[in-house]
Structure 1
Amino acid sequence: MTDLSKLSLHELTLNEPGRPKAPAIAEATDSHRRQGRQLAAIHRHYLMEMAQIGAVLARIEAGNAPPDKLKQIVLSLDMAENFRVFGSLCGRECQVLKFHHDIESADIFPRIEAAGGGRFREIVAKLKAEHEVVHEVIMRLSHAAHVLSEDTSKTNFDEAAAMFRKLEVVVRSHFGYEETELAEAIRYYLGAI
């Protein structure tokens, strides 16, 4: 396994062309697929909060808000309250997203893999590998945000903004892949999540 901490931000990728496709489930119905898209609703919450942070970054870059405004906005988000419930505001990793991924990796993915007779093994392995990339970017963003909170210089702001943008791109791509490839399997094999 590659030590992701040694890679540059540019090198942290999801290898989208290498993503395997989920096998079709012949018995799955349109109802299974629609209900299986419940995962997208969970993901939308995270993406809405990321969009709020992105809007604040744009305002700061345009000179319409000081860099320390970012910390205030981030602390007011629902995600921040969830972080506090789980222990700390981002500690080394964004706890809520990590918790979401941990549930998928420890429970949902193995259940789909087992129920599908191993037909989803490659999909599950790829999704878990993508979780590792997401977590690495989160750790780097957490560090950059801490540095920014200590010193709101343009250099530190630019570093945190670059980390955030990378996280947003990676998370959007990962969520889209997961939602597409597991839409049938989630409802068909698990009943509901």
Structure 2
Amino acid sequence: MRDLSTQPLDDLSLDEAARPKAPSVPKATDRHRRQGRQLAAIHRHYLSEMAQIAAVLARIEARDASPKHLKQIVLSLDMAENFRAFGSLCGRECQVLKFHHDIEGADMFPRVEAAGGGMFREVVAKLKAEHEVVHELIIRLDRAADVLAEDPSDENFVQAATTFRKLEEVVRSHFGYEETELAEAIGYYLGAI
């Protein structure tokens, strides 16, 4: 695993141009493709959770509330458990996203790679490298949210919001790549997820 902790936030990006294409699975049927698209449904759930955080940030940016009221705003949302259970804005959503990636890396990716006879090795390697970027951004967002909770200044809000937007951008891009390149293989080799 690479140490990304010293890289500037702007450098924590995905090299989309270097993404390898997955080979087709000639024996895959439409049924397999539908099964493989279940991954997209899981991803939509994570993106919905992230949209709740984005809504809180938008309220503060629109001056509907000040950064020092962030905790009360979040507590009024369904995300209230984040602060109670995890003490931060990112809380459960970030832990669940990390867990999702851990499952993919430890189970789904190796199974697809093995079943495909290594045909998906490059795609899987790229997806795992992208997971590292996502995880570093999760760590940074968690830290920024903790700092913001301690000192709800405009400067700390901007840092948390900037980090969140970077995470959201990276996650959307990563999910799109994963869904596009692996749906057919997941459906064919794993049957469903």
Say yes or no: TM over 0.5. Answer: yes
Task: Give the match for residue 5 of structure 1.
Answer: 5
Counterpart of 2:172 in structure 1 is: 172
1:71 CA drift (Å): 3.3
Q: Aligned partners of 2:16, 2:168: CA distance in 1, in Å?
A: 15
What secondary structure is seen at the aligned counterpart in 2 of 1:169? helix
Q: Give the alignment's TM-score, normalised by structure 2.
A: 0.90
* Deviation sequence 1:131-170 (CA, Å, 0-9, x none): 0000000000000000000010000000000000000000
Percent of paired sites with the same residue: 72
Alpha carbons of structure 1 residues 109 and 143: separation in structure 2 relative to 1, 3 Å: same
Shift of 1:70: 3.5
Assess if the C-alpha contact under 8 Å between 1:113 and 1:121 holds in 2.
yes
Cα distance change of structure 1 residues 30 and 79 upon mapping to structure 2, 3 Å threshold: farther
Count the aligned residue pairs. 189
Q: Is the 8 A contact 1:130 1:174 kept in 2?
A: yes
Aligned residue type for 2:7: L
Segments of 4+ moved more than 2 angstroms: 68-81, 87-91
Structure 1 partner of 2:146: 146
Structure number with higher relative contact order (C-alpha < 8 Å, ≥ 6 residues apart): 2
Unmatched segments (≥5 aa) in structure 2: none
CA distance in 2, matches of 1:67, 1:138: 20
Residue 59 of structure 1: how far off its partner (Å): 1.4
Give me the whole-angstrom Cα distance separating, in 1, the residues matched to 2:12 and 2:65: 30
Shift of 1:62: 1.1
Q: 1:134/1:37 Cα in 2 relative to 1: closer, same or farther (>3 Å)?
A: same
CA shift for structure 1 position 53? 1.3
Q: What displacement does 1:189 show?
A: 0.2
CA gap 1:121/1:71 in 2 versus in 1, 3 angstroms: farther
CA contact (8 A) 1:49 1:79 kept: no
> RMSD value over aligned CA atoms?
2.2
Pairwise mapping of residues 3-42 of structure 1 onto structure 2 (< 5 A)? 3-42=3-42
> Any conservation in 2 of the 1:33–1:183 contact (CA below 8 Å)?
yes
